[in-house]
Structure 1
Amino acid sequence: MTHTPTVTVHFSQAILQAAQRLGLRLPEEWAAPTHRDRVDLAQQDRLWEHFCRAADDPLVGLELGLALQVGHLDTAGMILMSCETVGEALESLLDYHPIVGEGGDFLVADDGPRVAVRYRPHYATRRPERVEAVLASLLNLTRWSTGDAFRAQSLTLRHAALGAPERYRERLGVPVVFEAPHNALVFDADQLRVPLVHANPALCRHLRGLADELLARLDHRALSARVGALIREHPGWGKERIAERLGMSGRHLIRRLADEGTSFKLLRDTLLRERAEQALRDGRRVADLAAELGFSDESAFTKAFKRWTGETPARFRGDRAG
């Protein structure tokens, strides 16, 4: 069954509240209160299109992001604010952002002195405005949750400025770089240790249990099947790269696979063994196969194959040839 991406209704309500403050007429499908927990991404697209067209402000997405509150982020927002440090909150963001919306992924890139929280949207409708809303809310809520102790270095955007560039600096309080390689919030690595003023480890653990159940309901496809498909497509990828593609941290990937009674190592070994055995039956060269499957050299592949099957590749091929 194909999974339909959704967004929490609380985030949609933030847009509706902003529209009401601006005196904008709402789309007919949003005229009556909704009792749903989730909204299809396609419907969210229509809401954003109407909102941006009706607003007389090119930076309406930025302003919306600055107005977002923790409650608009559903359970994920409560988890983020109850973490102990900025670093822990970012790990939770990687794990639980689909609760807010499945329209994009986050990645934390650490190059030593600087950290960049990158955002990769999957939608096309009003992409610049929505990206600005996401990154503005990330900056603003991080400041709020640390009692304004968090210090960002810059915010980078892949698109050109939608309005006067100086207005971005005025509203965000940090330099903004346009037409950059990534949409990202950039800050010094020491900011990861900044404590959160509402830290509550017991509450955070409880909320993570609830959030794990919600994530499991969001996507009815077994995670192991999705991981397996990525391993088949990219046999040389490791756990972290697979987790990044799935929009979660490596730690969370391990935990969710364990809930399904398996592990990344077991899945990868099983799939690589099947691929290697078939390739050897087809007469493939061991050196070529080792490189294709992501091993450093032929010797490393031979050791792994012997661990899987109890035989060397040469012995395996010779037995089948006979």
Structure 2
Amino acid sequence: MTTISSLGTASMAAVRQYLRAAEAKGVATASLLATAGIGLTAQTPDDQRIDGARFQHFIRLLVEAADTPILGLETGDFVQPGSYSVLGYITMSCATLGEAIQAIVPYEKLVGDMGLTRFDLQGDTMHLVWQCAYTDPLVRPHLIDNVIASWIQYARWLGDDTDTAPIEVRLERPSPGAALEAAYTGRWGCPVIFGADDNRVVAARRLLDIPLRQPDPSLRRTLEAHARHQMASIQDDAALLTRVREAIRHQLLQGVSRQDLVAADLHMTRRTLQRRLNREGASYQALLDEVRQSLAADLLIHTDLAIADIADRLGFAAATSFHRLFRQRTGQTPTDFRRQHQD
């Protein structure tokens, strides 16, 4: 059975990095945030979470407004320790660049569920590999650029401008065009391979021993304890989201989609359910849309039902509403999606 996976959550710290880049380019973001359903003020804490689908939608809107094929690369210029939430402050308290890099894997979820990092040592080189979880074909290359560019820029900052240039960078995204490739090599000071099998920074192993500015083992232990507490909280909320998705799916298969019935299935009131979803930066409607799309993908691939009938089964008032949501989340029309997967 084919399903479209959840995009998890993202921290407000990650959103703010994009906002700084947008401000520098003169792009107004208030309307983009509102359209994506992201409520953010100066008082919003960096570790507050939002639904990953909203974050992906915001990046899409920003890419369209900025109208540049290298926006993701440019956002890397605006990385700060706070961009990585508490993980950023953990890395600052490490003794060496190697310690900071190895802190990424266990705590990267605090920044968001945008992807997964793997760290490998191969002879005299080290490899940081990142697997992107976001699915929007317009957003994905910019997100890849952002993550890799932020890594390289942040390592340069942590090393106090010591030469931390990679040996090479590999990107699965296609080239933005020969005229723009120089923007990558100019920033990173190394060859960049586009259309690669994965997203990878290859650097000299000796960089792991670069000393950082202000190592503080005591502070690091305190921050890591805080990070573990946050991770546990995120996992508890993720378990709730999984249960809500399962309850919604069960209802849709019965031809209904009511929040009060979902809450009752989870032995809580509708108000309590909404409060717990809000704490995770999620909403019942966003989860409903996600499950609808997952079921839609199955029905499009494995049945010959007309698209209008699929829309009706999933509780849409009109086929046009189903068409609009499906295209917004996948970048494809239901017809194109069915044709591609059935072929």
Per-residue deviation, residues 52-72 of structure 1 (Å, max 9, x unmatched): 111132111001012111112
Per-residue deviation, residues 66-95 of structure 1 (Å, max 9, x unmatched): 211111211011111211112211221111
RMSD across aligned positions (CA): 2.2
Q: How much does 1:31 deviate?
A: 7.2
Local SS of the residue matching 2:50: strand
Q: How much does 1:174 deviate?
A: 2.0
Aligned to 2:82: 71
Aligned to 2:149: 136
Aligned to 1:35: 44
Aligned to 2:268: none
Q: How much does 1:9 deviate?
A: 0.5
Q: Distance in 1 between matches of 2:173 and 2:44?
A: 35
Q: Distance in 2 between matches of 1:110 and 1:60?
A: 31
User: Do structure 1's residue 106 and structure 2's residue 120 form an aligned pair?
Assistant: no
Q: Higher RCO, 1 or 2 (CA under 8 Å, sep at least 6)?
A: 2
Runs of 4+ aligned structure 1 residues displaced above 4 Å come to none
Could you tell me whether the CA contact under 8 Å between 1:3 and 1:220 is conserved in 2? no
Q: Distance in 2 between matches of 1:117 and 1:215?
A: 22
Could you tell me whether the CA contact under 8 Å between 1:145 and 1:198 is conserved in 2? no
Could you tell me whether the CA contact under 8 Å between 2:96 and 2:209 is conserved in 1? yes
Could you tell me whether the CA contact under 8 Å between 2:21 and 2:74 is conserved in 1? no
How many residues align? The count is: 222
Local SS of the residue matching 2:87: helix
TM-score by length of 1: 0.65
| Change beyond 3 A, Cα 1:31–1:206 | closer
TM-score by length of 2: 0.61
% identical aligned pairs:
28
Q: How much does 1:221 deviate?
A: 7.8
Select the residue among 200, 222, 226 that pairs with 1:206.
Answer: 222
State the one-letter code of the partner of 2:209: R
Aligned to 1:157: 171
Give matches, 1:303-314, under 5 Å. Answer: none
Aligned to 1:12: 15
| Change beyond 3 A, Cα 1:3–1:54 | closer
Could you tell me whether the CA contact under 8 Å between 1:3 and 1:219 is conserved in 2? no
Aligned to 1:81: 92
State the one-letter code of the partner of 2:217: P
Local SS of the residue matching 2:236: coil
Q: Distance in 2 between matches of 1:130 and 1:53?
A: 14
Q: How much does 1:184 deviate?
A: 1.1
Q: Distance in 2 between matches of 1:116 and 1:12?
A: 27
Q: Distance in 1 between matches of 2:17 and 2:214?
A: 22
Select the structure of larger CA radius of gyration: 1
State the one-letter code of the partner of 1:140: Q
Q: Distance in 2 between matches of 1:102 and 1:10?
A: 13
Aligned to 2:337: none
Q: How much does 1:3 deviate?
A: 8.2
| Change beyond 3 A, Cα 1:35–1:85 | same
| Change beyond 3 A, Cα 1:207–1:162 | same
Q: Distance in 2 between matches of 1:3 and 1:51?
A: 21
Aligned to 2:62: 51
Q: Distance in 2 between matches of 1:165 and 1:222?
A: 39
Q: How much does 1:166 deviate?
A: 1.7
Aligned to 2:24: 21
Aligned to 1:297: none
Give matches, 1:186-265, under 5 Å. Answer: 186-220=202-236
State the one-letter code of the partner of 1:121: C
Local SS of the residue matching 1:220: helix
Q: How much does 1:20 deviate?
A: 2.6
The runs of 5 or more residues in structure 1 that have no matched partner are 224-322
Local SS of the residue matching 1:25: coil
| Change beyond 3 A, Cα 1:32–1:222 | closer
Q: How much does 1:32 deviate?
A: 5.7
